[in-house]
Amino acid sequence: MHLLILFLDAWTLLLIAALWACVAATWAYFRLSPQPKWGDEILPMTVVKPVRGLDEAMIPGLEAIIEADPGKRVQILIAMENADDPAYAACREFIAAHPDRDVEIVLSGPAGGRMGKIHNMIAALPRAKHPHVIFSDADTVAPPGMLAETSSAFRRGYDAIYAIPYHLKTDSLSGYLMQIAFGHGFSVSVALGYYLNNFHFYAGAWMAYSKDLIKKIGGLEPFAHQIADDYSIGAAASKAGSRKYLLHSRIGVREDDRTLGESLRHLAKWAAIIRSSLPVAYALLPFFDGPLVALTALALAFFSGLPTGPALALLAGAVGSRALAGVLQDAALKEPLMPWHAYAGLPLVDALNVILWPFGFRPTILWRGTRYRLSAGGKATVL
């Protein structure tokens, strides 16, 4: 028992050190590394927006692309299954408001057995006029400079370009959960992975590829049944030897127009998606929660009559580090700081994720009105 507690204490120290390594890498990349010099002229590029339903951020996201492209060199393809989609009328109004821009609605037809989002992407890709294609989710808003930085990266020879999604500022509790999930969940180690040349971060919020690379990985059809198409495409691009670039700009995401219960179900759904796509990593997740590991060591020491001081000190260090690391991460990314109690609540949100963890082993999920069965390798079958 004593050896087990010592192991858990040592593991907690390692997790705290890893957390601070992530923060240091984030600070170095986003605050200290030289920002790319963007050219005045944006390359001709195509932006594909796969759409289903009218997201709150959809029209602001389209307007942001227009404003960032004064030279009118970017083509926008808005892909949806049919004209009955609630977003169709809003997109028609957007096109009418910008008659001098190259914007088109692509009606993809019924998805059938394909995943809906990539079905729309597959339908839009043949209509892309330019050699560089950006795929961006409908609930995102690109900040000023993101198009220019993406163009600059393509000019410098990169053929796979990604952005970290950060949830837009919110005051609701459900929005706070989304803000933590996006900004302080899977994004925290992105810069460290990029530094170590072990980059495995591919978010559909903003991912850009050269057409040559898309052709090299066999097009988009091989990913039509992947529940996490963005991860699957990115992994295939990496395997194909792509030159990857992480943007200094972050892409804004908004997913807080839901109740607390809906947000919890949404997070549970994503738990199942992650488990299906990365089963080994998902199974090990609880062992990488510093406060949880320290709390386990503390409980074991208490019930076995051993000294609790070291475990208690490590628990305080793990909880405090998680909160302070969140503040420094946002500062490194120049993001608006959340209220102090929001950072103090980070360890509690981590604990919530552990509570939701068993839900990730569900074999089926409901996504936008369609039920899917998940199987190994992230494959999704329509039920």
Do 209 and 343 lie in one domain? The reply is: no
Mean pLDDT by 10 residues, the chain (383 residues): 89 94 91 73 94 88 94 96 94 96 95 89 96 94 91 93 85 77 76 86 93 97 93 94 93 75 85 91 91 93 90 95 93 86 87 87 86 89 84
Q: How far apart are CA 75 and CA 145, in angstroms?
A: 17
Report CA Rg, the chain. 22
Count of structural domains, the chain: 2
CB atoms within 10 A of CB 232: 23
Do 176 and 304 lie in one domain? The reply is: no
Do 165 and 23 lie in one domain? The reply is: no
240 phi/psi in degrees, rounded to 5: -80, 0
Both tokens assigned to 206: 């903003």
369-376 contact pairs (CB < 8 A, 24+): 370/116, 372/115, 372/227, 374/227, 374/272, 374/273, 374/275, 374/276, 375/276, 376/276, 376/279
Do 61 and 17 lie in one domain? The reply is: no
| Alpha helix (H) residue ranges in 131-259 | 146-155, 173-181, 190-195, 211-216, 229-239
Q: How far apart are CA 46 and CA 134, in angstroms?
A: 6
Q: How far apart are CA 247 and CA 156, in angstroms?
A: 13
Is 271 domain-assigned? Answer: no
Cβ-in-10-Å burial (0-12, 13-18, 19+) of 265 comes to middle
What type of residue is 214?
I
pLDDT, residue 257, reads 64
pLDDT, residue 264, reads 84
Q: Is the dihedral of CA 213, 219, 220, 222 positive or negative?
A: negative
Which residues have C-beta within 8 Å of that of residue 358, sequence separation ≥ 6?
A: none
Is 87 domain-assigned? Answer: yes
Cβ-in-10-Å burial (0-12, 13-18, 19+) of 231 comes to buried
Do 241 and 320 lie in one domain? The reply is: no
The number of angstroms, rounded, from the C-alpha of 192 to the middle of its chain's C-alpha atoms is 16
pLDDT, residue 113, reads 83
Do 69 and 200 lie in one domain? The reply is: yes
pLDDT, residue 38, reads 63
Q: Give the Cα-Cα-Cα angle 13, 18, 19 (nearest 5 degrees).
A: 100
Is 270 domain-assigned? Answer: no
Q: Is the dihedral of CA 132, 137, 138, 139 positive or negative?
A: negative
Both tokens assigned to 76: 């926008």
Is 247 domain-assigned? Answer: yes
Do 254 and 282 lie in one domain? The reply is: no
pLDDT, residue 163, reads 93
Coil, strand or helix at 134: strand
Do 220 and 76 lie in one domain? The reply is: yes
Is 42 domain-assigned? Answer: yes
Do 339 and 210 lie in one domain? The reply is: no
What residues are paired with 103 via a beta bridge? 76
Do 253 and 196 lie in one domain? The reply is: yes
Under a CB-based contact definition with an 8 Å cutoff, are residues 133 and 242 in contact?
A: no
Q: How far apart are CA 232 and CA 25, in angstroms?
A: 25
**First-residue to last-residue Cα distance in the chain:** 48
Is 368 domain-assigned? Answer: yes
Do 152 and 231 lie in one domain? The reply is: yes
225 phi/psi in degrees, rounded to 5: -115, 20
Is 269 domain-assigned? Answer: no
Q: Which of 288, 201, 295 is nearest to 247 (CA)?
A: 201
Do 180 and 283 lie in one domain? The reply is: no
Residue 53: which CATH number? 3.90.550.10
Q: How far apart are CA 322 and CA 235, in angstroms?
A: 29
Query: Domain span at residue 22?
Result: 2-27+276-379
Q: Which of 1, 2, 14 is nearest to 287 (CA)?
A: 14
Which pairing describes strands 103-107 and 160-167: parallel, antiparallel, or unpaired? unpaired
Is 267 domain-assigned? Answer: no
pLDDT, residue 297, reads 93
